[in-house]
Amino acid sequence: MLRATVRRLLAIDDPPERTALAFSIGVFIAFSPFLGLHTIMATVLAFAFRFNKIAIYAGTFVNNPFLTLVPIILASYAMGAIVIGLPLSLPRESMMLLRHPHLFTGEWWERLFESGHHVLLPYFIGGMMLSVVCSLAAYPLTLRFLRAKQIIKEKIEKIRHEQEEEKQNPEAGSQDEKQNLEARNQESE
C-alpha cells in the first residue's frame, strides 16, 4: 500500500509522452533566468499538474551550481546581448559578478541591479530564449529514449514469459522446436 502511494505521488507510471513533457518542462525551468526559484517552480508545477516528480526534477537539475550554472548564465547573457545588440564583452565588475555568483548575499544582488542594463536584461532575454529552445529539443529526445526503453522492457518481459512457459511445460517447448525445425526443413526443400 505504501509503495502504491509513493508511485502515485511521484507519478512514476505515467506514459512516456507525459514523462517527456515533465522532463522538458524541467529543462525549461533549468534554463530560465529565475535563479534560486528553480526547485520551487518545479515543485509547484509538478504537484499542480501531477507530473512525474523525478522527471521534472531531473530536467530542472540540468542547471546545477557545480557544473553548469556558470556556462548557462554566460550563454544566456551572450544570446540576449546578441539579440539586443550589446557587445559581448562585459565591464570587468559585471564579469566578476557572473563568474562568482553569491545568490544569497544582498551585496551581490545590489551590485547586479546597479549594472542591470548591461547584465540583467540580456541575461533575462537570452535565458528565456534558451529555455524555449532547450525544452523544445528535450521533449522529442526524451520521448524517443523513453519509447525505446519501453520497447526493450516489453521484449525482455516477453522472453522471460516464454522461458517461464518452457520451465513449466518442457515437452511443449521441445515439441514447438521440433515443429519449427520441420517447417524450416520443408521450406528449404
The residue-averaged pLDDT of 104-114 equals: 82
pTM of the model: 0.73
Between 77-81, 93-97, 128-132, the lowest mean confidence (pLDDT) is in 93-97
Residue 10, amino acid: L
Distance CA 166, CA 128 (A): 57
Residue 64 in this model has a pLDDT that exceeds 80: yes
Mean pLDDT, rounded, of the chain: 84
pLDDT of 120 reads: 84
Distance CA 102, CA 171 (A): 71
Residue 6 in this model has a pLDDT that exceeds 60: no
The residue-averaged pLDDT of 166-181 equals: 64
Helical pair 106-114 and 92-99, crossing angle rounded to 10 deg: 140
Residue 141 in this model has a pLDDT that exceeds 60: yes
The residue-averaged pLDDT of 28-36 equals: 94
Which cell goes with 98? 557572473
Residue 60 in this model has a pLDDT that exceeds 80: yes
Which cell goes with 188? 528449404
Which cell goes with 18? 507525459
Q: What angle do CA 78, 93, 117 make, to 5 degrees?
A: 55
